[in-house]
Structure 1
Amino acid sequence: MTNSITVRHRSMDEIVAGLHLVRRSPRGVGTLALAVRRPAVDVREVLSQAELDTTVGLVGDSWSQRPSSRTTDRSPHPDMQLNVINSRFVELIAGPDRDSWALAGDQLYVDLDLSFDALPAGTRLAIGDQAVIEVTDQPHNGCAKFAARFGRDAHKIVWSEEGQQLRLRGLNARVVVGATIKEGDTVRQLPADPGPPATRLP
Structure 2
Amino acid sequence: MIEYRSQSFLESGLAHIRNSPADNGILEMIVTRPAKKARSTPHRCTLSSQGGVEGDHWAKGCWKSLPDGSPDPTVQVAIMNSRCLDLISASRSQWSLAGDNLIVDLDLSIHNLEPGQRLSIGTVILEITAVPHNGCASFKDRYGEEALKFISTKGGKELRLRGIYAKVIQD
Please report the TM-score for the alignment, with normalisation by the length of structure 1: 0.81
Identity over the aligned pairs, expressed in percent? 40
| Partner of residue 35, structure 1 | 30
Deviations along 1:3-50, one digit per CA (max 9) or x if unpaired, are: xxx531101011001111101000022100000111000000011111
**What is the aligned counterpart of 2:114 among 117, 120, 125?**
120
Residue 96 of structure 1: how far off its partner (Å) = 3.7
1:58 equivalent in alignment to 2:58 = no
**What is the aligned counterpart of 2:40 among 32, 36, 45?**
45
Supply the RMSD in Å over aligned alpha carbons: 1.3
1:100 equivalent in alignment to 2:94 = yes
1:145 equivalent in alignment to 2:138 = yes
| Partner of residue 156, structure 2 | 163
2:113 partner SS: coil
1:84 partner SS: strand
Is contact 2:64-2:75 (8 Å) kept? Answer: no
Residue 73 of structure 1: how far off its partner (Å) = 4.7
* Structure 1 residues 120 and 149: CA distance shift in structure 2, 3 A: same
Please report the TM-score for the alignment, with normalisation by the length of structure 2: 0.95
Residue 70 of structure 1: how far off its partner (Å) = 5.9
Count of equivalent residues = 171
1:32 partner SS: strand
- CA separation in 1, counterparts of 2:69 and 2:139? 23
- CA separation in 2, counterparts of 1:160 and 1:66? 30
- CA separation in 1, counterparts of 2:121 and 2:62? 27
The structure richer in helix per residue is 2
Residue 69 of structure 1: how far off its partner (Å) = 4.5
Residue 66 of structure 1: how far off its partner (Å) = 2.5
| Partner of residue 109, structure 1 | 103
- CA separation in 1, counterparts of 2:159 and 2:149? 14
- CA separation in 2, counterparts of 1:72 and 1:66? 13
Q: Which runs of 5+ in 2 are unaligned?
A: none
Q: Which runs of 5+ in 1 are unaligned?
A: 1-5, 179-202
- CA separation in 1, counterparts of 2:26 and 2:64? 32
> Which structure has the larger Rg over C-alpha atoms?
1
